[in-house]
Amino acid sequence: MRHGRAALAFSFFAQGVAFALLVTRIPAVQDRYGISNALLPAFLAAVPVLAGAGSVGAEHLVKRVRPGLVLRWSQPMVLLALLGVAAGDAVLHLAVALAFFGVGVGALDASMNMLGVSLQYRYGRSIMLGFHAAYSLGGIVGATLAWVGAHGQLPLLGSYLPVAAVLLPAALLGSRWYLDAGRGPDLEEGPGAAGAGQPVAAFRLLLPLCLVMTFAYIGDSTVSNWSAKYLQDVLGSSEQLATVPYNVYMATTLIGRSLGDLGVRRFGAAAVVRAGALLAALGFGTVAAAPGPGTGMLGFTLLGLGLCVLVPQTFAAAGRLFPGASDSAVARLNIFNYVGFLIGSPLVGALGDVWNYRAAMLVPMALVLVTVVYATSFTPRRTATA
């Protein structure tokens, strides 16, 4: 199990690196293909939409093959698609590469978390936050490598190829140790599925977790897309200082996830989720009321520490609620990752333009507070049996 845990953690790490390399070099991708500012949002929105389709596809695939096999081949697909983004010379090439990247990311995210949930069940204690900590570490490494590439004025292929050359064979080698729980039934059928034979009952149990996942990613995408602009335009920071909040957010996310499993073992998942939601809400409130850049930085620090626990614990809760159908539950829940990502940035932008950006920060604050209401969905006592 130690080998399986290490292999899966590396998979999370590699995914964090690949995703960060893409999103942090968007300006370079735009310049390479001559994409206008008006057309760019359509390309960016297509990735999470196709990722949702990939997650749905993964749910159906794992009815026939092991999740570890889906993960083994979706990770190379993502890395090769990343190279495709860097190697094309026409907009059509970029569209095809991003389509493969999006579908691959959806299947990859779903299958990684399927294996994480089943491995946590084998361990009998919380380990999911550790996997997501590896993803956060990968994001930091990927963003750093992207900065090195941009600073050295390397072409995209020169930045991406060495990374893929290391990660691809390492991921394939590590995949031999993936541990699968075996194919489980669908949410509405079979032993151990909550609401067996009752689709409505299964949906009602999963719905609170879907909402928590959506709200968590609305908060995350708000930080990703608006932290720099907010610090510079609203709080009056310098352009250089405006780049710091996201790095601070990622660092505190890594710290929170690295220590979070200990908190879950000591105080329980529901208590950790409540604390994370309240801390995240305090972070948004601090950002909204900040008189200057220093206080704004404090708010983004609190956001990293608070939001970081929500997503891993939501996947883990789905595994507890549907012990005999956790793969299907995780795949469906994973779709709301992309729903939140699609909603978050346009929502805050629209509210900021119509209202003001300080007030706009109160909306994700209110949404993340709803998680406190649904915290009972994270308690083991609600695990359903056939």
Place of tokens 């760019």: 40
* Non-local CB neighbours of 221 within 8 Å, separated by 6+ positions: 340, 341, 343, 344, 345
C-alpha dihedral sign at 296, 302, 306, 307 = positive
The pLDDT value recorded for residue 384 is 40
C-alpha dihedral sign at 292, 293, 294, 298 = positive
The pLDDT value recorded for residue 279 is 96
Q: Select from 52, 147, 112, 18 the least CA-distant residue to 341.
A: 52
The pLDDT value recorded for residue 198 is 59
Half-sphere exposure of 174 (CA within 13 A, CB side): 24
The pLDDT value recorded for residue 187 is 60
How far is residue 3 CA from its own chain's centroid?
Answer: 24
The pLDDT value recorded for residue 382 is 41
- Give the span between the Cα atoms of 109 and 127, in whole angstroms: 17
* H or E, element range at 86: helix 67-87
Which ranges of the chain have pLDDT less than 70? 181-201, 203, 380-386
The pLDDT value recorded for residue 166 is 97
Domains of the chain, earliest start first: 1-176 (1.20.1250.20), 192-381 (1.20.1250.20)
